[in-house]
Amino acid sequence: MQMTLNEIAQLVDGHLLGDPDCVISGAGPIDQAQAGDITFAEKGASLKKLDQTKASAVIVPSHVTEAGVSMIQVDNPKLAFVKVLAQFHPMPKPDPGIHPSAVIGDNCQLGEDVCIGAGTVVGLNVVLGDGVILHPLVFIGDNVSIGPESIIYPHVSILERCRVGRRVIVHAGSVIGSDGFGFVQEAGRHLKMPQTGIVQIDDDVEIGAANTIDRATFGKTWIQQGVKTDNQVHIAHNVVVGEHAILVAQVGISGSTTIGHHAILAGQAGIADHISIGNGAIVGPQTGVGHNIGDHQVVSGGINAIPHRTWLRVQHVIPNLPDLYKQMKQMEKRIARLEKEASITE
The predicted-structure confidence for 285-312, as pLDDT tens digits, reads as follows: 999 999 999 999 999 988 777 888 888 8
User: Which range scores top for mean pLDDT: 10-24, 63-77, 292-306?
Assistant: 10-24
DSSP string, 233-282: -EE-TT-EE-TT-EE-TT-EE-TT-EE-TT-EE-TT-EE-TT-EE-TT-E
315 pLDDT more than 90: no
CA dihedral (87, 93, 95, 101) in degrees, to 10, reads: 170
CA distances from 266 to 19, 145, 207, 219, 287 (A): 43, 31, 15, 28, 8
Q: What percent of the chain has pLDDT over 90?
A: 81
67 pLDDT more than 80: no
The predicted-structure confidence for 244-261, as pLDDT tens digits, reads as follows: 999 999 999 999 999 999
111 contacts 94 by C-beta, under 8 angstroms: no
DSSP string, 7-43: HHHHHHT-EEES-TT-EE-EE--TTT--TTEEEE--S
- Which pLDDT does position 84 carry in this prediction? 95
- Which pLDDT does position 92 carry in this prediction? 86
Average pLDDT over residues 171-176: 98
Helix (H) / strand (E) containing 207: strand 206-207
Residue 211 banded pLDDT, cuts 50, 70, 90:
very high
Residue 49 banded pLDDT, cuts 50, 70, 90:
confident
- Which pLDDT does position 343 carry in this prediction? 81
Q: Angle, to 10 degrees, between the axis of helix 5-12 and the axis of helix 77-88?
A: 120
Distance from C-alpha of 84 to C-alpha of 156, rounded to nearest angstrom: 30
pTM (whole model) above 0.85: yes
208 pLDDT more than 90: yes
Mean pLDDT of the chain: 94
Residue 65 banded pLDDT, cuts 50, 70, 90:
confident
Average pLDDT over residues 271-284: 96
The predicted-structure confidence for 102-118, as pLDDT tens digits, reads as follows: 999 999 999 999 999 99
- Which pLDDT does position 186 carry in this prediction? 93
Question: Which range, of 69-73, 99-103, 248-252, averages the lowest pLDDT?
Answer: 69-73
Average pLDDT over residues 233-250: 98
Among this protein's residues, is 135 annotated catalytic? no
140 contacts 159 by C-beta, under 8 angstroms: no
Residue 344 banded pLDDT, cuts 50, 70, 90:
confident
Average pLDDT over residues 140-145: 98
What's the full length of the chain, in residues? 346
Given the residues 237, 274, 296, 316, the one annotated as active site: 237
